[in-house]
Amino acid sequence: MTDTPLLIVGASVTDEERARLDAAYPSVFVATNADMANLDAATRQGIKAMAYKGHDPLGGDQMDLFENLGVIANFGVGYDAIDVDAATARGIKVTNTPDVLNDDVADLTVGMMLAYARDLVRGDAWVRDGTWASGKALPLNRKMSGASVGIVGMGRIGRDIADRLAAFKMDIHYHARSEKETPNWTYHADVVEMAKAVDWLVIAIVGGESTRNYVSKECIEALGPRGVVVNISRGTTVDESALLDALEQGTIEGAALDVFLGEPKINERFYALKNVHLQPHQGSATVETRRAMAEVQLSNVVAFLEGRDLVTPVN
């Protein structure tokens, strides 16, 4: 057994994030989950906390490599990559980093909607490549203000999105497990019924098996020919095959997406579509928010190793 209590996991861990964790406790780093098994037995026995960053599945088999592991501190509000039930069965606590990323995700949602509605990417290209200067005008596009929008999930992020869209004079509808206290927004117990009532459908629910294909083929079809799907949650929350079919066939108007199945290698059918706005899963990707997320992750590691209550426990 070594005196190294912290395991840092994830190829996307930045030098700054790793240095902050290293400064707090002696640590060892692995880039992938598969690398965990390559650590020697003494090192694995000494690990008590794991700082986890990534979307690769983390299950019981990996947890069993570390007999003294007591906490998995996830970098991100979504923890669907971690088998929480397996962790709970082993007496391992899981934490996440909620709240600090709400603003960035909500901001990006509005930005993607505007970019889709006003064709901002093509507009920028036309200015740069001389198309506009040649006398060609960008086609008239779509007004966003005043339209109807349905929010799938009225948690912290969903509420921040709705608050922003209300400032655009949009007619706010929402679907959640129960009705919330809102400024007279319209609640729908059934997500398909909500889709029938709106033009924009914004997905803001957690990922994982419990929400897989929550926005189903039926829900997508219910949107109709003016419908636009906006997803900033997880690629698993929407039936992606049905969404692609609807986009190709024109049964809905379009989509604005920050998340995908199999990302970053997404379905190549998306590349041929002109009615989509695509982003590289950058919902929380600002310097300020990523630093705040790292600090929350570290605070959970410190709390556990010092025997104090966890800051943001999941289980």
User: Active-site residue numbers?
Assistant: 234, 263, 281
Residue 247's Cβ-side half-sphere holds a number of Cα atoms within 13 Å equal to: 22
Peptide bond preceding 264 in cis form (omega within 30 of 0): yes
CA-nearest of 309, 282, 289, 244 to 109 is 282
| Residues ≥6 apart with Cβ < 8 Å to 152 | 158, 174, 175, 191, 194, 201, 202, 203, 204, 205, 214, 215, 237
User: Per-residue DSSP letters for 170-213?
Assistant: -EEEEE-SS----SSPEEESSHHHHHHH-SEEEE----SGGGTT
User: Per-residue DSSP letters for 120-167?
Assistant: HHHHHHHHHHTTTTTTPPPPP----TT-EEEEE--SHHHHHHHHHHHT
CA-nearest of 48, 84, 75 to 284 is 75
Could you give the CA distance from residue 101 to residue 293 in angstroms, rounded to a whole number? 7
Three-point CA angle 308, 29, 265, nearest 5°? 110
